[in-house]
Structure formats: C-alpha cells, structure tokens
C-alpha cells in the first residue's frame, strides 16, 4: 500500500513532484503557504519547455506565452553575437498560477502530451512517508541558507521601440553589470539589471541610469514603468538538503543566478527527482542510497552552476564594485568543485530512478 506524501509549496518544483507522484499512485497532502513575492516575467528555454510538455502538456500553460527565436549577446566590448535560441517568455505570476492549477486538477490523474488518461486507482494511504519542502515559508527547522554574494536584480516592464525585434531577446554587459531584455508580446518587454548589491535610493532612477549606460539595449526601449522591483540573485544553497523523512526541492534547496537562465528548469528537475526517489524507495529501493544520490545530484548541479557563473562574470569588464562578487564566486566554485564532478549511483529515465 502506498503511503501519502506531504508537499509544502506551490511553485514549479512542487508541481513537478505532484505530476510524478500522481503517476506512481501516491496520495498527496498539499499545502501552499502564502508568500509575499513578486515573480518577474520568465524566459523558459527549450529544454524547460520540453520538460513541462512531458509533465503536463503545454496547451493551457503556454496559451499566453510569447515566442522568442533569437538571443543577442553583447558581452563587454565584443561585437554583438546573434544566437538561434528558441524560448518562451511568460508572466511569472501567470506561469506559477497556471502550473499549480494544472497540478491540482491532475491530482489523482495522469497527464502528459497535452491529454488526460484515466490513472490507476491510488493505493490506500498508510500514513505519510515523506515531506517535500518546496517553500521557504515551510523550510525545515534547523536548516540554514548559505548565500555566495550580495548581488541583486532590478526588473520592470518596458515598452519596445521601433528598433526592437519582437522575437529577439538581448543580454548586454557593461561596467555597471549586465542587463537583459526579453519581449513579452504587444510591444512590451521585461528588462532586468544585475547589480553587485541591492541598490540604495530610488530604484527607478538607478535602473534608468543603468539603461542609459548601455550601448545597445537603451535604443530598444521606448519607455519603462516607474514600478521597479528588486530581489537578491546571488547563488544560495540550503544546509542540509535532506533530513529525516524530508527533502528540500526547488528554490528551497537552492537559488540560482538568473544569468544562466535555468532556474525554472532546475526547480522542475529537482521536483521530478524527488518524486522518483520517493517512488523507488517505496518500491523497496535502498532508502539511504537514494537519499544520498538526491543530495549528491543537487550538490553537483549547484557546483556546475557556480562554475558557469564564475566563467561568465570573469569574462566581463565590470567595474571595481563587482570584484568582490567575482572573487567570492570563484572561491565558492573551488569549494564545490568536487561536488560538481561527483559520480552518481542512479540515473533518471522516463521519470524513474534506476542504478547507473
């Protein structure tokens, strides 16, 4: 008989776990804490969109998404480089609410490929076996978050000028930091600016100054709203990632710098992995070995992320205010280098864990 699983949270990791656990016939006790967070618009890369399609189909979720086909990279003084990079931009709130709605609708049903098929009847619950912590509001007692840096991001919605292409996003780096522009449709876009620390003073004035200093992105913007949001973007990880009967997933486990553009994908993958771990353990797998694999896999992903961030930031011409951030990132990369190359005992295939 299957035991029930408690999921704390309602973001991408929680939803991915719901999809996986429902397919395995688990009863789910879902708790969605209220969180005071303004989600920025998202750009979902091709791999993330494909994974979402495998988990829940895409017809409902992406109805309001805007299609992107190219990315232009202007890093430092180098000439801009155009890269073919299919992606979708979407309101962060719309994405989160839509994904959660599909997950809740799918409790007790199997969803995939855009269609719904009758599930196998859920097994009778014999009590909770696991808790998946997918919300900072429900973080495990005694755990702590280690953050590597103090950098922050300002973001706001802007209007696009006639010079902007609606299917092309931009990322540009200069002395102040990096700026990202992604069209949202209807000649609107989101602009994000990374700074070495949370800015002091009027955020709108700070953002306007950064945009004015760009060589390329400034000419693509016709106007921007005075409502500017800020939140930290330095990589962070929770210690520990696992405990007695619980697993941390999504942003509760780790936070990624958006410069790499895979935060949503990583959150989804951690939820999928957690669901696969629970299913394998309840089918008689070595619980200790499975939990160790989960922890090692997340540490490996975090180490690889730190290394990628360090390479990108070291290749810029950022001013002196960024040097502490760059140095701290390099030190963290060295600390996690062994984790980034650690061997794995299991592999994930068709949302199931099997010995590697």
Q: What is the per-residue pLDDT across 265-280, written as a single tens digit (0 to 9) for each?
A: 999 999 999 999 999 9
Asked if residue 289 and residue 168 are part of one domain, the reply reads no
Longest dimension (CA), the chain: 63
pLDDT score of 34: 76
Q: What is the per-residue pLDDT across 34-78, written as a single tens digit (0 to 9) for each?
A: 766 677 899 999 999 999 999 987 667 898 899 999 999 998 777
Number of structural domains, the chain?
A: 2
Q: Which pTM does this prediction carry?
A: 0.91
The CATH number for 156's domain is 3.30.70
How far is the first Cα of the chain from the last one, in angstroms, to the nearest whole number?
27
Asked if residue 38 and residue 125 are part of one domain, the reply reads yes
Asked if residue 182 and residue 59 are part of one domain, the reply reads no
Domain that holds residue 162: 152-232
Asked if residue 163 and residue 144 are part of one domain, the reply reads no
Where b means 16+ CB within 10 Å and e means fewer, 257-287 reads bbbbbbbbbbbbbbbbbbbbbbbbbbeebee
Asked if residue 60 and residue 27 are part of one domain, the reply reads yes
The CATH number for 70's domain is 3.50.50.60
For residue 240, how many other CB atoms are within 10 A of its CB?
A: 13
d(CA 148, CA 233): 10
DSSP sequence for 245-277 = TEEE-HHHHEE--GGGS-HHHHHHHHHHHHHHH
pLDDT score of 275: 97
Asked if residue 297 and residue 276 are part of one domain, the reply reads yes
| Domain end residue (candidates: 232, 260, 294) | 232
Torsion angles phi and psi, residue 342, rounded to 5: -70, 140
Asked if residue 104 and residue 225 are part of one domain, the reply reads no
Asked if residue 238 and residue 227 are part of one domain, the reply reads no
Asked if residue 349 and residue 224 are part of one domain, the reply reads no
| Domain end residue (candidates: 206, 232, 258) | 232
Asked if residue 266 and residue 184 are part of one domain, the reply reads no
Spans of the chain below 70 pLDDT: 1-2, 35-37, 58-59, 108-128
Stretch (H or E) spanning 204: helix 203-213
pLDDT score of 128: 63
Asked if residue 331 and residue 294 are part of one domain, the reply reads yes
| Domain end residue (candidates: 197, 215, 232) | 232
Asked if residue 182 and residue 129 are part of one domain, the reply reads no
pLDDT score of 126: 45
């Amino acid at each position: 008989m299957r035991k029930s699983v408690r999921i704390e949270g309602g973001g991408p990791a929680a939803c991915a776990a719901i999809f996986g656990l429902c397919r395995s016939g688990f009863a789910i006790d879902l708790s969605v804490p209220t969180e005071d967070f303004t989600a920025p618009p998202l750009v979902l890369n091709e791999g993330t969109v494909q994974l979402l399609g495998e988990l829940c189909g895409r017809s409902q979720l992406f109805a309001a998404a805007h299609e992107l086909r190219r990315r232009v990279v202007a890093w430092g003084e180098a000439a801009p480089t155009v890269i073919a990079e299919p992606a979708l931009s979407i309101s962060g709130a719309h994405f989160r609410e839509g994904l959660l709605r599909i997950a809740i609708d799918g409790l007790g049903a199997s969803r995939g490929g855009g269609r719904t098929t009758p599930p196998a009847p859920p097994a009778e619950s014999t009590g909770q076996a696991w808790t998946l912590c997918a919300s900072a509001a429900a973080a495990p007692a005694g755990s702590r978050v280690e953050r590597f840096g103090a950098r922050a991001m300002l973001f706001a919605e802007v209007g696009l000028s006639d010079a902007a292409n609606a299917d092309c996003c931009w990322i540009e780096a200069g002395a102040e930091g990096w700026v990202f522009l992604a069209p949202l449709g209807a000649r609107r876009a989101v602009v994000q600016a990374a700074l070495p620390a949370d800015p002091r003073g009027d955020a709108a004035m700070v953002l306007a100054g950064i945009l004015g200093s760009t060589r390329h992105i400034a000419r693509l913007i016709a106007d921007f709203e005075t409502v500017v949001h800020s939140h930290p973007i330095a990589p962070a990880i929770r210690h520990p990632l696992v405990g007695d009967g619980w697993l941390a997933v999504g942003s509760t486990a780790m936070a990624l710098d958006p410069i790499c553009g895979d935060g949503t994908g990583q959150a989804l993958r951690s939820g999928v992995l957690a669901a696969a771990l629970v299913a394998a353990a309840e089918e008689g797998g070595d619980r200790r070995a499975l939990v160790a694999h989960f922890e090692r896999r997340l540490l490996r992903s975090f180490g690889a992320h730190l290394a990628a961030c360090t390479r990108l930031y070291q290749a810029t011409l950022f001013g002196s205010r960024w040097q502490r951030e760059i140095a701290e990132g390099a030190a963290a990369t060295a600390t996690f280098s062994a984790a980034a190359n650690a061997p794995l005992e299991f592999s994930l295939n068709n949302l199931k864990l099997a010995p590697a």
